[in-house]
């Protein structure tokens, strides 16, 4: 059904999209030269000085991250218009543990998900017969393997780091769900949830399928919405990144988050959890950390803690789960993140 979508605006936007691509390529190509010119010629800062390097990082990274984010969000939102939570739910319904957990983790990456949807999605899955452990695999994968973060990692650091991030995130989601499923924790759901699971269905609502112009429209809206909302986090992330880049000595970072100390991974997680940022905002920090000799495992653990274990989401989920289930959920995921950190510090 397409009546629900406004066609003319989509076609107008089609013209804009064709113009936007060459403009994007041009801006991205001249960004490096432009930032150096601004920092060292126009502002007259000395290359290799602390301030000079910090300012150059700031001027280079801000347009770069914003440009990459725009492209990544556009592509990701477009892909997401093909993934419908209702169909995902039906595909996961009554799956056996194992295969169900694997599918749920994969779906978790691509399904559009916001933390305020966590509750209806959680109960909706359980009601449709998706096992608790499989539902948890989904709930862990959805925020942890953030699709925007994945795209940004690919664009900024190459496919290997992106693949390591996705692979380890999937492994954590798969295993956590499997463990929680084995623990048989259904009785630690809040009472009203258990009632809602038994209640009769009131006739499910039918959903419309968007047309191609509508999908492109949605992708443009996604860019406006996400880039419009996260740019303060990105600026904050870039400011932190610029400070690290210009002022923090390499030896200090290597001693703190390097691979030779046992405490570097838990430290990275401890710093990461209370930092409420989002996938895009944390990228410039990751960039600066890696540049200054922080180990990949520690950095990965830091990033996963920031994105995957967020306080707001835990608070929302506490409406449906008793403390014991919440605690199990948070500890299983934290242990997974720690293991990933240690593993990659050890093998790379």
Partner 1 sequence: MLIEVFGPGCLKCQTMEKHAKEAVEKSGGSHEVVKISDYAAMVSRGVLSTPALAVEGQLKFQGRVASTDEILELIKA
Site residues for partner 1, 294-333, by CB under 8 A, read 319-320
Q: What minimum distance in Å lies between the beta carbon of 89 and partner 1?
A: 6
Residues in the chain: 348
Query: In whole angstroms, how close is the CB of 111 to partner 1 at the nearest point?
Result: 8
Stretch that binds partner 1, among 25-33, 191-199, 276-284, 330-338 (CB under 8 A): 191-199
Find the helix or strand (DSSP H, E) in which 110 lies. Answer: helix 99-110
- Of the pair 120, 158, the CB lying nearest partner 1 is at 120
For 89: left if phi > 0, alpha if psi spans -120 to 50, otherwise beta; the answer is alpha
Within 8 A by CB and 6+ apart from 125, the residues are 89, 92, 134, 135, 138
Sequence-distant (≥ 6) Cβ neighbours of residue 188 within 8 angstroms? 321, 322, 324, 325
Check binding of 38 to partner 1 (CB under 8 A): no
> Distances from the Cα of 30 to the Cαs of 23, 26, 65, 252, 316, in angstroms?
11, 6, 14, 33, 44
Three-class secondary structure of residue 321 per DSSP: strand
Please report how close the Cβ of residue 61 comes to partner 1 at its closest, in angstroms: 28
Contacts 24+ apart (CB under 8 A), 186-193: 186/132, 188/321, 188/322, 188/324, 188/325, 189/126, 189/320, 189/321, 189/322, 189/325, 190/319, 190/320, 190/321, 190/322, 193/123, 193/126, 193/320
Question: Is the CB of 60 or the CB of 122 nearer to partner 1?
Answer: 122
Least CB distance to partner 1 at residue 294 (A) = 35
Binding-residue pattern over the window 95 to 124 for partner 1, x denoting contact by CB under 8 A: -----------------xxx-xx-xxx-xx
Minimum CB distance to partner 1 smaller for 199 or for 323: 199
Which residues is 321 bridged to in the sheet? 189
In sequence order, the 6+-apart residues with CB closer than 8 A to the CB of 186 are 132, 194
**Contact pattern for partner 1 over residues 261 through 300, marking x by CB under 8 A:** ----------------------------------------
127 forms part of the interface with partner 1 (CB under 8 A): yes
Residue 3 binding partner 1, by CB under 8 A? yes
Q: For residues 3 and 42, which CB has a smaller minimum distance to partner 1 in the complex? A: 3
Question: Which of 26, 159, 192, 247 is the binder for partner 1 (CB under 8 A)?
Answer: 192
Per-residue x/- mask for partner 1, residues 218 to 237, rule CB under 8 A?
Answer: x--x---x------------
How many whole angstroms from its chain centre is CA 202?
34
The least distance separating partner 1 from the CB of residue 83, rounded to whole angstroms, comes to 10
Give the per-residue contact string, 68-97, with partner 1 (x = CB under 8 A; - = no). Answer: ----------------xxx--x--------
Dist CA 20 CA 41 (whole Å): 29
The residues that touch partner 1, with contacts defined as CB under 8 A, are 3-6, 9, 84-86, 89, 112-114, 116-117, 119-121, 123-125, 127, 192, 195-196, 199-208, 218, 221, 225, 319-320
């Amino acid at each position: 059904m397409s009546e629900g979508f406004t066609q003319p605006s989509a076609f107008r936007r089609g013209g804009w999209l064709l113009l936007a691509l060459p403009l994007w390529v041009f801006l991205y190509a001249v960004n490096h030269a432009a930032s150096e010119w601004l920092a060292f010629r126009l502002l007259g800062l000395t290359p290799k000085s602390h301030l000079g390097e910090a300012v150059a990082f700031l001027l280079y990274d801000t347009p770069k991250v914003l440009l990459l984010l725009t492209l990544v969000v556009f592509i990701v939102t477009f892909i997401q218009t093909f993934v419908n939570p209702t169909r995902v739910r039906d595909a996961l319904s009554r799956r056996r543990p194992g295969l169900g957990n694997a599918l749920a983790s994969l779906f978790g990456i691509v399904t559009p998900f916001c933390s305020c949807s966590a509750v209806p999605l959680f109960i909706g899955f359980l009601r449709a017969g998706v096992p608790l452990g499989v539902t948890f695999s989904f709930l862990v994968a959805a925020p942890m393997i953030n699709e925007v973060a994945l795209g940004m990692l690919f664009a900024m650091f190459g496919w290997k780091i992106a693949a390591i991030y996705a692979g380890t995130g999937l492994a954590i989601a798969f295993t956590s769900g499997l463990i929680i499923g084995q623990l048989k924790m259904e009785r630690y759901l809040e009472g009203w949830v258990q009632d809602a699971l038994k209640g009769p269905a009131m006739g499910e609502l039918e959903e419309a399928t968007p047309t191609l112009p509508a999908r492109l429209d949605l992708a443009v809206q996604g860019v406006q919405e996400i880039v419009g909302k996260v740019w303060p986090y990105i600026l904050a992330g870039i400011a932190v990144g610029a400070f690290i880049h210009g002022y923090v000595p390499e030896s200090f970072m290597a001693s703190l988050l390097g691979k030779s100390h046992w405490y570097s991974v838990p430290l990275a997680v401890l710093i990461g959890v209370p930092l409420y940022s989002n996938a895009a905002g944390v990228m410039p920090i990751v960039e600066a950390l890696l540049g200054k000799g922080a180990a990949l495992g520690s950095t990965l653990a830091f990033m996963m803690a920031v994105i995957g274990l967020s306080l707001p989401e835990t608070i929302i989920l506490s409406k449906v789960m008793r403390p014991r289930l919440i605690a199990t959920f948070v500890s299983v995921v934290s242990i997974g993140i720690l293991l990933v950190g240690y593993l990659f510090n050890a093998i790379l």
